[in-house]
Protein backbone atom coordinates (compact mmCIF):
# COMPACT_ATOMS: atom_id res chain seq x y z
CA UNK A 1 0.00 0.00 0.00
CA UNK A 2 2.87 2.36 0.81
CA UNK A 3 4.39 1.75 -2.64
CA UNK A 4 1.14 2.63 -4.41
CA UNK A 5 0.74 5.79 -2.34
CA UNK A 6 4.36 6.74 -3.14
CA UNK A 7 3.77 6.31 -6.91
CA UNK A 8 0.51 8.28 -6.83
CA UNK A 9 2.20 11.17 -5.02
CA UNK A 10 5.12 11.05 -7.47
CA UNK A 11 2.74 11.20 -10.43
CA UNK A 12 0.83 14.12 -8.91
CA UNK A 13 4.05 16.06 -8.24
CA UNK A 14 5.28 15.37 -11.78
CA UNK A 15 1.95 16.58 -13.20
CA UNK A 16 2.08 19.79 -11.15
CA UNK A 17 5.69 20.54 -12.11
CA UNK A 18 5.02 19.82 -15.79
CA UNK A 19 1.99 22.12 -15.92
CA UNK A 20 3.70 24.89 -13.97
CA UNK A 21 6.79 25.06 -16.20
CA UNK A 22 5.24 24.00 -19.49
CA UNK A 23 5.50 26.64 -22.28
CA UNK A 24 1.88 25.98 -23.25
CA UNK A 25 0.38 29.37 -24.09
CA UNK A 26 -3.19 28.26 -23.46
CA UNK A 27 -2.59 28.48 -19.71
CA UNK A 28 -0.64 31.72 -19.89
CA UNK A 29 -2.22 34.93 -18.69
CA UNK A 30 0.47 37.17 -20.17
CA UNK A 31 -0.24 39.28 -23.23
CA UNK A 32 1.32 38.40 -26.60
CA UNK A 33 4.75 39.85 -27.34
CA UNK A 34 4.52 43.06 -29.32
CA UNK A 35 6.78 43.20 -32.38
CA UNK A 36 9.68 45.50 -31.70
CA UNK A 37 10.15 48.66 -33.68
CA UNK A 38 12.90 48.55 -36.30
CA UNK A 39 16.01 50.59 -35.64
CA UNK A 40 17.08 53.39 -37.96
CA UNK A 41 20.00 51.23 -39.08
CA UNK A 42 17.68 48.34 -40.01
CA UNK A 43 15.39 50.65 -41.99
CA UNK A 44 18.40 52.21 -43.74
CA UNK A 45 19.72 48.76 -44.66
CA UNK A 46 16.32 47.64 -45.99
CA UNK A 47 16.26 50.66 -48.31
CA UNK A 48 19.50 49.61 -49.99
CA UNK A 49 18.55 47.19 -52.77
CA UNK A 50 21.06 44.70 -54.19
CA UNK A 51 20.66 43.01 -57.58
CA UNK A 52 23.59 40.72 -58.34
CA UNK A 53 24.99 37.80 -60.27
CA UNK A 54 28.16 35.83 -59.68
CA UNK A 55 30.56 33.46 -61.35
CA UNK A 56 33.72 31.54 -60.50
CA UNK A 57 36.90 32.72 -62.23
CA UNK A 58 40.59 31.98 -62.03
CA UNK A 59 41.09 28.29 -61.36
CA UNK A 60 37.39 27.90 -60.59
CA UNK A 61 37.58 29.24 -57.06
CA UNK A 62 37.67 33.07 -57.34
CA UNK A 63 34.23 34.53 -56.57
CA UNK A 64 33.39 37.38 -58.98
CA UNK A 65 30.33 39.55 -58.31
CA UNK A 66 28.52 41.93 -60.68
CA UNK A 67 25.39 43.96 -60.08
CA UNK A 68 23.81 47.14 -58.77
CA UNK A 69 23.09 48.76 -55.42
CA UNK A 70 20.15 51.15 -55.33
CA UNK A 71 19.83 53.68 -52.52
CA UNK A 72 16.15 54.34 -51.72
CA UNK A 73 17.00 56.25 -48.53
CA UNK A 74 16.51 60.01 -48.13
CA UNK A 75 20.23 60.34 -47.29
CA UNK A 76 23.35 59.14 -49.04
CA UNK A 77 24.93 55.80 -48.26
CA UNK A 78 28.65 55.24 -47.84
CA UNK A 79 30.92 52.25 -47.35
CA UNK A 80 28.33 49.62 -48.21
CA UNK A 81 29.35 46.05 -47.37
CA UNK A 82 28.09 43.15 -49.47
CA UNK A 83 28.43 39.69 -47.93
CA UNK A 84 27.92 36.50 -49.92
CA UNK A 85 27.58 32.97 -48.61
CA UNK A 86 28.22 30.11 -51.01
CA UNK A 87 26.51 26.73 -50.78
CA UNK A 88 27.35 23.31 -52.17
CA UNK A 89 25.18 20.74 -53.89
CA UNK A 90 23.75 19.55 -50.56
CA UNK A 91 22.92 23.16 -49.50
CA UNK A 92 25.71 23.15 -46.95
CA UNK A 93 27.27 26.56 -46.39
CA UNK A 94 30.80 26.49 -47.75
CA UNK A 95 32.23 30.01 -47.60
CA UNK A 96 31.41 33.56 -46.63
CA UNK A 97 33.11 36.38 -48.51
CA UNK A 98 32.56 40.12 -48.34
CA UNK A 99 33.57 43.38 -49.98
CA UNK A 100 33.16 46.99 -48.86
CA UNK A 101 32.29 49.42 -51.63
CA UNK A 102 34.06 52.64 -50.56
CA UNK A 103 31.76 54.98 -52.48
CA UNK A 104 28.96 57.44 -51.80
CA UNK A 105 25.59 56.45 -53.21
CA UNK A 106 23.26 59.43 -53.28
CA UNK A 107 19.49 59.09 -52.67
CA UNK A 108 17.67 57.46 -55.59
CA UNK A 109 21.03 56.70 -57.23
CA UNK A 110 22.05 53.29 -58.58
CA UNK A 111 25.68 52.20 -58.25
CA UNK A 112 26.80 49.57 -60.78
CA UNK A 113 29.76 47.24 -60.41
CA UNK A 114 31.17 44.47 -62.57
CA UNK A 115 33.46 41.53 -61.81
CA UNK A 116 34.43 42.53 -58.27
CA UNK A 117 36.85 39.99 -56.82
CA UNK A 118 35.20 38.92 -53.56
CA UNK A 119 37.83 36.35 -52.67
CA UNK A 120 38.59 32.66 -52.90
CA UNK A 121 35.80 30.14 -52.31
CA UNK A 122 35.39 26.38 -52.50
CA UNK A 123 35.27 24.99 -56.05
CA UNK A 124 32.16 23.05 -55.08
CA UNK A 125 30.11 26.27 -54.79
CA UNK A 126 26.80 25.73 -56.60
CA UNK A 127 24.81 28.76 -55.48
CA UNK A 128 25.27 31.92 -53.47
CA UNK A 129 23.18 34.27 -51.36
CA UNK A 130 24.37 37.88 -51.26
CA UNK A 131 23.06 40.66 -49.06
CA UNK A 132 23.92 44.15 -47.94
CA UNK A 133 25.27 44.76 -44.46
CA UNK A 134 25.69 48.20 -42.95
CA UNK A 135 27.85 49.06 -39.99
Predicted local confidence at residue 78, as pLDDT = 93
Please report the pLDDT score of residue 54 as a whole number.
96
H, E, C per residue of the chain? CHHHHHHHHHHHHHHHHHHHHCCCHHHCCCCCCCCCCCCHHHHHHHCEEEEEEEEEECCCCEEEEEEEEEECCCCCEEEEEEEEEEECCCCCEEEEEEEEEEEEECCCCEEEEEEEEEEECCCCCCEEEEEEECC
pLDDT at 93: 96
**Mean pLDDT computed over 109-130:** 96
Q: How far apart are the first and last CA of the chain?
A: 69
What are 21-35's pLDDT values in tens digits? 555 444 444 556 778
CB 54 within 8 A of CB 63: yes
Q: What are 55-113's pLDDT values in tens digits? A: 999 888 999 999 999 999 999 999 999 999 999 999 999 999 999 999 999 999 999 99
Domain boundaries, the chain: 48-133
pTM (predicted TM-score): 0.69
Q: Are 102 and 79 in contact (CB under 8 A)?
A: yes
Determine the CATH number of domain 48-133: 2.60.40
Amino acid sequence: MKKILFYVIAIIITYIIYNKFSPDQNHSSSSPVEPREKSASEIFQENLKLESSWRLNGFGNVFMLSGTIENKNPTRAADVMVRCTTYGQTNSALNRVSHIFRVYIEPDQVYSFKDVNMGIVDKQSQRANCRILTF
